[in-house]
Chains A and B, each alone.
Chain A
């Protein structure tokens, strides 16, 4: 018993030390990356790119399932993007709530016959529509098949060399597409995919498809997520991207070279983590072929999205994410520690396996084991308290550092009260919220064992609903 306890203790301590060391290093890397990016923005030449006939056109893919409340607003934001030429391919994935109806009405849709590539098999398309007022808007009505299937359908109809997959309730900033596309414009033969940053729209005022005022959500749960997203996106993704090991491009906002997505067979429908799965598959495909490439994270272009404000939906979302991670890791286990996959094989992928996939296990087992050790007299109280205090402070430091990074660079939160609130929540995040996340992620293993396939119900309040009255 003692040996088992000691081993567990050592493993836990080691895990703790390594993980936090990685976090701290990443914070440093991310600072450098963001600073460089911001400076480069001054001479990036976006105006010129916007005016250039050489800038390649982009097909935006918008899979939608029961998005009647927010989809019109979302599409409006896309129609006014500052990008020379785009088409918007909305895929209605068998919605049952009148999504199709609101689209037909809002955009004056007319039915057409549409030729499809069908390189990747999908559920059948029932009808296709084009907007009379906005000829760049194409809507495909199909049988329900899930997000990946809807994306593949969009891929099938897309005409341009680049596809941008976004969520139906996402609101893009005017320059978002230009910024996320910039790496590809600069190095078309090198950059295979880019991802943008996702920020939380709960609490922001949205008007005519634009976020006109940034605010913090009233819901404490959503505010906790704001702090969390700073760490996950600004520090996490930026760090990985700098190390050339970006394995996640958010399904909410990602840009890909269409030919590559087709070459690897589109998005996988058998997994709920189709966004991570695609990126990992792209890495493998390109590395297997020995091609030089880059997959970048751009910290600047912003996609605003709604996050769950109740525990139930949030829990479901986190379990789904963890399930997706597990499915992807299992499917691509051949990457683990293979020299051919370079930094991804030796660092990126193992990190995800150890710290993201199995991490919750260790993090959950930690406290009970510690308490048991203390209760049986093997651990002294001062030691216990000391350890707790240090781990708490570390967590706080990392959250505060991420917040500071945001404040030092993008400064999206003009109100000082908001910043103070964020600081408070940065501390609070470490007391309870993270632990709750671990519980959810552990439950995901149960789900995986039971082979859950569905996405679960989503409660959509809709970004337009609670905000500006005028939506016409």
Chain B
């Protein structure tokens, strides 16, 4: 027993001391590295800024090149336009893009993901092919980073694949969506096609993105989705039409105010607030008195935009708590 205790004590004591030692050494090392890095960055900052500005710069030695690349990646995250192109050119010339594309084959997932992310910052189109392949990587983090970068690079060629991963859980949802928004109109054909898919999730996703990316001409397509069999798709369609402020769809959206499902009614009400048009006012007022909270709230708020006079009058007559709230809130804003 004694022996056991003695050995355990030694082991535990040793363990604690080791941690403390590691702590101390690491702190010192990191501090020194940080100081060096900051000093290097200070020195290289004028060079980096000149490069962002499109000017030519002289080559730097290997150690500085690393710091410079880090600095430029940070800048790359903040800029677009000509500056982005200038940076992309530098990264291509200095081999940075090549290095990160090669790292997409690293056996460690975190390294691949970091590479996928960096390639988006670097802004070079050379990376698009490799990034599209990375969308099928085994690690979700890598796929997500690749999707994000493809969005940053506005890689229209990847539109269909990105739409595909947006719906499945293969890539983090928010990131995929935002990447698609980055693609802009390049994604539209694929999205339009998807509105006819068999899978309601795909239809819903496509409709939502059309609302953010679409044009006035997409209105009929979305109006058709207002009669979709799935409630989520109908609600999404109403939201999308609101975002597009599609006045020609006003009548169809008004019809959706009678949908059996409350959240569809709520979405329709909200959309009418954005589309405008006095014709919707009576229906909205009726909805604002209804018992379902979300629909009534949305309708009351929409009335503020659609017909404030009617709303004020209704407020006096006691048309329910949602109308009263909307009246009071509107009064504050004026």
Contacts and interface: CB of A to CB of B under 8 A. Distances in A.
A is bound by B: yes
Interface of A: 36, 39-40, 42-43, 45, 47-49, 51-55, 110-117, 130, 132, 135, 159, 185-190, 382-383, 386-387, 389-390, 393-394, 396-397, 400-401, 403-404, 407-408, 411, 416, 419, 423
B59 interface: no
30 contacts: A39-B113, A39-B114, A43-B141, A45-B144, A45-B145, A45-B178, A48-B148, A48-B151, A54-B174, A54-B181, A113-B325, A114-B325, A115-B296, A115-B300, A130-B328, A135-B329, A185-B172, A186-B144, A186-B174, A190-B169, A383-B2, A386-B4, A386-B6, A386-B9, A390-B9, A393-B9, A393-B12, A394-B12, A404-B22, A423-B20
**What 5 pairs between A and B have smallest CB-CB spacing?**
A386-B5, A186-B172, A43-B117, A112-B328, A115-B321
B124 interface: no
A422 B273 CA distance: 57
Contacts of A159: 297
Interface in B107-163: 110, 113-114, 116-117, 141, 144-145, 148, 151
A389 B4 CA distance: 12
Contacts, number: 144
Interface of B: 1-2, 4-6, 8-9, 12-13, 15-16, 19-20, 22-23, 26-27, 30, 77, 110, 113-114, 116-117, 141, 144-145, 148, 151, 169, 172-175, 177-179, 181, 208, 212, 293, 296-297, 300, 320-322, 324-325, 328-329, 332-333
B147 to A, nearest CB: 9
A130 B333 CA distance: 11
A185 B329 contact: no
Interface SS majority for chain B:
helix
Given A51-B178, A387-B5, A393 B297 contact: no
A36 B140 CA distance: 13
Contacts of B9: 386, 389-390, 393
B110 A40 contact: yes
Nearest to B3: A386
Contacts of B172: 45, 185-187
A52 B178 contact: yes
Given A48-B175, A113-B324, A186-B172, A386 B2 contact: yes
Contacts of B151: 48
B16 A396 contact: yes
Contacts of B208: 54
Contacts of B325: 112-115
A404 B321 CA distance: 55
A113 B321 contact: yes
A396 B175 CA distance: 42
A407 B20 CA distance: 10
Contact of B27 (A55, A386, A407): A407
B296 A400 contact: no
B296 A36 contact: no
Contacts of B332: 110, 112, 130, 132, 135
A117 B297 CA distance: 10
B242 to A, nearest CB: 12
Contacts of A49: 174-175, 178
Nearest to A52: B178
